[in-house]
Chain A
Amino acid sequence: MAEQALSAAQVLDRAAGRRGRRFDLKRQPGFGVVALLCVAMLYAPILIVVGFAFNDSPSVTRWSSFSLAWFEKVLANGDIHNAARNTLVIASCATIIATLIATAAALATTRSRAWPGQTTVYTFINLPLVVPEIVTAVATASFFALLAQQVGISFGIGNLILTHSVFCIPFAYLPIRARLEDMDLTLEQAAADLYATPWQAFRRVTLPLLTPGISSGAALAFIISFDDFTITQLVAGAGQTTLPLYIWGQLHKVGVTPEVNAISAILLVVSILFVSLSFLVGRRR
């Protein structure tokens, strides 16, 4: 409206671009810069933590020189050993439980016509994703407190394992389900045609082909449990410190120290490795 009508020559000029480059109809000016800034912003904190873990001086923000001293300290720290053991025990057990349950649930809910009760299963499985972590933490803490006080039951570290299993299930479920849906239904028909009973078909055809999805889901479940802080903080009992809880404790007591940086860096790298693994395995044919 405010612009005057352009002549044909002007339109062509504009289209050719001011610098005479070939017209890329998808390009929007500045978007690439924003995208790169976005990525930089997402990774800056991670890189800083990892970077300064190698810093020689005790300062966390002023670089002096490269050193592995803090990692040595971390690896010698008994409390960290304890926390690491707890974390690994909980994460491993929760992963196994969650993956088994998620595999069964995926087999129940995919590749078939809708059956009565299926939507309830979906709702149950997706529930941990929808409910805010703090709410789950509060609810679980109340539940186990009730169990311990009124009924006298406590599973020790099993409390944490069961709690973790619940919110790990959806993370294991999604890659397994995706893999299952991608699978060709005729393969199981072919197996049946070749005299395989349903169980044999599952064991010899479905399961081997499902393994990448299961591995991918297990890796994700492991990381989710490994990294959990909010829920663990409220549910953990005495002596059940995990690595995130240890870091939190340190942050509260002494603030950010290079040691904290070092153990944090280790955690970050572990997470990245596992997720990359999950991603690569999940894409294998």
Chain B
Amino acid sequence: MAVAAEAPRIALAQAAAERRFLLGRRLLASPAMIVIGVFGILPLLIMFIYSFLVAATYGGVEWSFTTEAYVSFLFQRDIFDDTLQFVPDYLQIYLRTFVLAGFTTVASLIVGFPTAYFMATRPPSQRNFWVFLITLPFWTNLLIRTYAIQLIIRDEGLVNDLLRAIGLIDQPIHILYTNFAIMLGLLYSFLPFMVLPLYTSLEKLDFRLVEAGFDLYATRGRVLRRIVIPLAKPGIIAGCILVFIPALGAYVTPLILGGGKQHMIGSLIATQFGTSRNWPFGCAQAFILMAIVLLALLVYVRSTTGKSRVAHG
């Protein structure tokens, strides 16, 4: 008797609650979707479209379709007989970018691992302070920090002054505007990105395993190599990704420390919107860069979601 009456009442209430839930959530998320969609994603599409247009003389584009931007990445048209000649210049820049990013990753791992380990082995009350200390530089202006590096490494800079003062050298060492300078700048910018994931991983380390290692007559070096580092592997991988991928897109560092002579992909793109006035080419390069970055991320995400299902440790 009551069964027939009560079922619709509950069902109605449940359906209404479900509708309210979905509507509420979607409504709350919509400002983000709209703003990011219109002013974040739509511009990327426009950029993609622009890469297929013709460069206008004083910057900007002319609305006619061409693949010239992508072609000129690898080839140059001979002005006389219109044949294509392979031009390695841009590929060199890409190669330099990858190599610099790679070296930066390795260097940041070498410096970052001991730092993260040290932080993770501080008493718990101190750790938050260390995390804050390492993260703080990230939040300051990159432009300022990078030119400050210039102050340090340039010919009349602090390093050279110091070395001359203590008599180690007579002539200044030319550090600025070299690949090394760029790498130094990249290392400086991205070090916190390596330290923090490593720290997170190491903080969770069960030091009873280390204790067991010592109990089994291992030296400190062995314990480090065979116990600590393998267990910190997720952090190491995360750190490498967090350094390598953004380093590929670095702009300010090669701009200031490369001096316009040593380009990375980022600074190359920027010149297309400044002196070179080749917007479509810049857009094409930007698109290729973004594609590389997204692809690398996708590969990383796919590989980690697989791994996380495997029992670890």
- Closest partner residue, chain A, to B110 (CB atom): A34
Stretch at the interface among A77-85, A127-135, A210-218: A127-135
Binary CB contact string for chain A from 22 to 64 against chain B (1 if under 8 A, 0 otherwise) = 0101111111101101110111111011001000000011100
- Complex contact A42–B191 (CB within 8 A): yes
Q: Which of B183-229 contact A (CB under 8 A)?
A: 188, 191-192, 195, 207, 210-211, 214, 217, 219-220, 224
- Complex contact B29–A230 (CB within 8 A): no
Binary CB contact string for chain B from 133 to 173 against chain A (1 if under 8 A, 0 otherwise) = 11011011111110111111000111001000000000000
| Residue in contact with A234 in the complex, picked from B35, B111, B139, B273, CB distance below 8 Å | B273
CB of A61 to closest CB in B, whole Å: 5
A97 to B145, CA, bound (A): 28
A39 to B192, CA, bound (A): 10
Q: Which of B104-139 contact A (CB under 8 A)?
A: 111-112, 114-115, 117-119, 121, 132-134, 136-137, 139
Q: Does more than half of chain A's interface fall in helix, strand or loop, or is it mixed? A: helix
CB of A51 to closest CB in B, whole Å: 10
Cβ-based interface call for B47 (8 A): yes
Q: Does more than half of chain B's interface fall in helix, strand or loop, or is it mixed? A: helix
Cβ-based interface call for B270 (8 A): yes
Stretch at the interface among B5-13, B20-28, B87-95, B303-311: B20-28
Q: Indicate the size class of the contact surface on chain B.
A: 35 or more
A52 partner residues in chain B, CB cutoff 8 A:
151
B42 partner residues in chain A, CB cutoff 8 A:
143
Residue contacts A-B, CB under 8 angstroms, 6 given: A45-B152, A101-B35, A131-B44, A139-B286, A165-B35, A224-B139
Instruction: List residues of chain B with CB under 8 Å of any chain A CB.
Output: 21-22, 24-29, 31-33, 35-37, 39-44, 46-47, 50, 60-61, 111-112, 114-115, 117-119, 121, 132-134, 136-137, 139-145, 147-152, 156-158, 161, 188, 191-192, 195, 207, 210-211, 214, 217, 219-220, 224, 246, 248-249, 251-252, 256, 266, 269-270, 273, 279, 282-283, 286-287, 289-290, 293-294, 297
Instruction: List residues of chain A with CB under 8 Å of any chain B CB.
Output: 6, 11, 14-15, 23, 25-32, 34-35, 37-39, 41-46, 48-49, 52, 60-62, 97, 100-102, 104-105, 107-109, 112, 115-118, 120-121, 124-125, 127-128, 130-143, 145-146, 149, 162-163, 165-167, 169, 220, 223-224, 227, 229-230, 233-234, 244, 247-248, 251, 256, 264, 267-268, 271-272, 274-276, 279
